[in-house]
A and B are shown apart, each in its own frame.
Chain A
């Protein structure tokens, strides 16, 4: 099998081992960016969603403004503001923060995280608000405090209910991460652009990378389907 791959590789000019390694590095960067921003996003959006679901205007209002602004503007503009803007903050170049902000990776990570937190907060809030009222009443009747019933009753079922919308957000983020190439990050799309520019072969370079994105997208969708089957088993019609 390796011989076959080897002959295949040695018989074309574009997909040489070097370019494949270039693609591989791009793939690793894309996965890092997407995974980190989603993980950070989840960690931030659960508390924010609880605040956003609060009936107190002074708590939910500011969160609403944040999610509205970040959902109402293009991620590319947010990325540019953070990437170009962070260097302009007076004095920042003399602090330790500059070590992170001078490379494009961390500004992109910050922009992606801020963006996905806005969307995830709304997804989780929707799921929290949809909690059947009887469940909360029952929990209260048992004498559970707010913290206790939120942790034991509201969040576990809300996170399950939000799973489907969440999987859409994961795919959205994977696809949105392609714009990291606009701030000189060599992610998958950036790698494809390099290969295109080097060989002037748009179809080979971009179709190859499109196929990779397609495979990754469907693997994620499949993974979420499995997870849904497991976590939402109690909601499945009997016998299916």
Chain B
């Protein structure tokens, strides 16, 4: 018999699963946002560049928790106002429950999108310009150059930065417990208040995080090796 954790063991494990889901969904969103805004920054179009720059600058200047609270508490108000507007003017019944999970995924994805944008931008710039010219000279169009030449090479330069961002993102998911989402930190908090022994629950949770980050580190190292195959170290 493993340690029973006063019956709270299974629920904390469920919380761990939620943490991982949250982290992966936010990662996905942040990768999309990061690629989009890195492309916007490098597009050479002034309006797109300005929007992307404003996004990455503002996000990186504001704490994650404040953005999360803004989105969670504000999102519901916004949705309710929108619903009122629709029912008043178009007689449409509209109600969206802006729950903590959605708020968590959107805010974490949004925040890390800004960091990913910088990582991707640097990585795109690190790809040799001659490669792009060669691609164009072969008669590829811009999209073909992007996904055949730029993207695979960019990924190698981006990987260390992506890995770092992922590690920070994983730990940031703990903040969703503050806005009431039942991740493992929240569940450990509930359990430790009920049983009056914080160490018993928070230390195992800390070890789960440690295991996740340690495993991620190994995985990132493996990916790095895989994507650096054939690259001569100078």
Asked whether any CB of chain B lies closer than 8 Å to the CB of A74, the reply is: yes
User: Could you list 19 A-B pairs, sorted by A, with CB under 8 Å?
Assistant: A71-B213, A74-B209, A76-B175, A76-B178, A77-B202, A80-B185, A80-B189, A80-B202, A85-B198, A85-B202, A181-B178, A189-B65, A192-B69, A200-B77, A202-B70, A203-B70, A206-B66, A206-B74, A209-B66
Contacts of A149 in B (CB 8 A): none
Asked whether any CB of chain A lies closer than 8 Å to the CB of B171, the reply is: yes
Asked whether any CB of chain A lies closer than 8 Å to the CB of B177, the reply is: yes
Asked whether any CB of chain B lies closer than 8 Å to the CB of A75, the reply is: yes
Q: How far is the CB of B55 from chain A (nearest CB, A)?
A: 13
Asked if residues A189 and B202 are in contact (CB atoms below 8 Å), the reply is: no
- Indicate with 1 or 0, residue by residue over A67-78, a CB within 8 angstroms of chain B CB atoms: 011011111111
- Indicate with 1 or 0, residue by residue over A51-93, a CB within 8 angstroms of chain B CB atoms: 0000000000000000011011111111011001100100000
Asked if residues B198 and A76 are in contact (CB atoms below 8 Å), the reply is: no
Whether A73 contacts B74 in the complex (CB less than 8 A), given A85-B202, A175-B64, comes out as no
Whether A69 contacts B171 in the complex (CB less than 8 A), given A84-B192, A203-B74, A206-B66, comes out as no
Which of A3-11, A127-135, A210-218, A231-239 binds B? A210-218
- Indicate with 1 or 0, residue by residue over A177-189, a CB within 8 angstroms of chain B CB atoms: 1110110000001
A73 to B60 Cα, complex, angstroms: 21
Asked if residues A69 and B202 are in contact (CB atoms below 8 Å), the reply is: no
A171 to B198 Cα, complex, angstroms: 30
| Residue in B171, B199, B205, B213 with the greatest tally of chain A CB atoms within 10 Å | B171
Residue on A nearest B216 in the bound complex, by CB: A72
A interface residues, Cβ below 8 angstroms from B: 68-69, 71-78, 80-81, 84-85, 88, 171, 174-179, 181-182, 189, 192-193, 196, 200, 202-203, 206-207, 209-210, 213-214, 217-218
Asked if residues A210 and B70 are in contact (CB atoms below 8 Å), the reply is: yes
Asked if residues B74 and A76 are in contact (CB atoms below 8 Å), the reply is: no
> Apart from A74-B173, A80-B189, what 10 extra A-B contacts exist at CB < 8 Å?
A76-B185, A77-B202, A78-B206, A85-B202, A88-B196, A175-B65, A177-B63, A189-B63, A202-B69, A203-B70
